[in-house]
Amino acid sequence: MRITSSLEYGMRLMAAIAKADGDAPLSAEKLAREENIPLDYTNQILWKLKSAGVISSRRGSSGGYVLARPPHEITLNRIVIALDGSIFEDVCSKYADAPRECHHQSGCSLSPLWRRLGALLTEFFSSTTLEDLIRGEPATARVEFMPPGRPLPMR
Amino acid sequence: MRITSSLEYGMRLMAAIAKADGDAPLSAEKLAREENIPLDYTNQILWKLKSAGVISSRRGSSGGYVLARPPHEITLNRIVIALDGSIFEDVCSKYADAPRECHHQSGCSLSPLWRRLGALLTEFFSSTTLEDLIRGEPATARVEFMPPGRPLPMR
DNA sequence: ATGATACCTGAGTATTTTAGTCAAGTTTTC
DNA sequence: GAAAACTTGACTAAAATACTCAGGTATCAT
């Protein structure tokens, strides 16, 4: 699994805009330069973020982008969905031959696995806000992942 | 984020082989047919799984594939790494201009985020065994994800 | 023995997704 | 009214993914 460059860039842009929250709008040109992202690509990404409602813009000279809400009200899942379309693609429906029916074979051992993974990722991103991000808090938040009580072999 | 077809198929194949654990080896041809995966692609995936040491093979007629160890000793992270190369690609190093140095901008708010996500995914896959998978247990294992104590806005 | 079965291995191709570019606008401010 | 800066869509290049192909080798059944 990997992070797309759109998402990496978009997160950086959001972090930069969040850090300047309250100050004058940040122009795309300045953001692109400071984050070392191609300008046209930056524009494209900013447009997606704007469409998703997480930032707003001001045109004209001295225009630029600002947060649409305070940082603690913007959860990262919004950003992920804005840029990647979803947090976790539905595997089950992708391999279904008929709509609304799971065609995973092997008695469909897999769909519970993928559903749980999707839930985990969704939880991860929607539990973290932009404010957490710029404070570096995500590193300290603990995850308790509970498998059945048993030693974990063959790591 | 998405699951590659290799991984989806590989997991299915492992589940099918695990369900036949103790029985006669399953041939690639039979596996491919039952799981509805192209034969040549199946061979390729089985080869990767064998290289990773999670299955072993027997040649000749009445040959095929069997688990290399009992199902409860095979954790899913092995399978993921065998097929995708890693569980989570290191974002930080990907955008580093110089080796061993993190070039994330914005005071590098991002690397803690991605590191935590990587840890979460690694934990997820290495905490589940093939036995859990074929029993459907992954669906019941609980995840406790602990963000800072605060209501979760803007979901 | 020998032929059929089935694994082994690497190379090659096609499709899709991602990443990034280009160009011609519109709006706002100074 | 000119410059700054956002808006929008289309287009292209590169990379990853998803297969396919071909020729080989080992083993088993008879």
Tens digit of pLDDT for each residue in B56-76? 999 998 999 999 999 999 999
B62 touches strand C (CB under 7 A): yes
Q: How many other C-beta atoms can be found within 10 angstroms of the C-beta atom of residue A61?
A: 6
- Better-scored residue on pLDDT, A116 or A143: A116
Share of chain A above pLDDT 70, in %: 79
Calculate ∠ Cα B45-B51-B54, nearest 5°: 85
A125 touches strand D (CB under 7 A): no
Would you list the domain boundaries of chain A? 5-91+106-142
Cβ of B143 within 8 Å of Cβ of A123? The answer is: yes
Which amino acid type is present at position A110? L
Contact A10/B91 with Cβ under 8 angstroms? no
Bases of chain C below 7 A from a protein C-beta are: 3-11, 18-23, 26-30
Beta strands per DSSP E along chain A? 55-58, 64-67, 142-146
Q: So what's the pLDDT on residue B97?
A: 59
Confidence of residue A92 (pLDDT cuts 50, 70, 90): confident
- As given in the structure block, the two tokens for residue A147 are 């498998």
Contact B10/B49 with Cβ under 8 angstroms? yes
In this prediction the pTM is: 0.84
Comparing A123-127, B72-76, B79-83, B149-153, the range with the smallest average pLDDT is B149-153
Tens digit of pLDDT for each residue in B10-37? 999 999 999 999 999 999 999 999 999 9
Tell me which fold the domain B5-91+106-142 belongs to. Arc Repressor Mutant, subunit A (1.10.10)
Reduced to 3 states (helix: H, G, I; strand: E, B; else coil), residue A67 is: strand
For residues B136 and B155, what is the distance between their CA atoms, to the nearest angstrom?
Answer: 29
Q: What is the DSSP letter of A21?
A: T
Q: Can you give the C-alpha Rg of chain A in angstroms?
A: 19
Q: For residue A3, which residues of chain B lie inside 8 Å, CB to CB?
A: 89, 91, 114
Share of chain B above pLDDT 70, in %: 79
Q: Output the CA torsion A69→A73→A78→A80 (10° steps).
A: 110
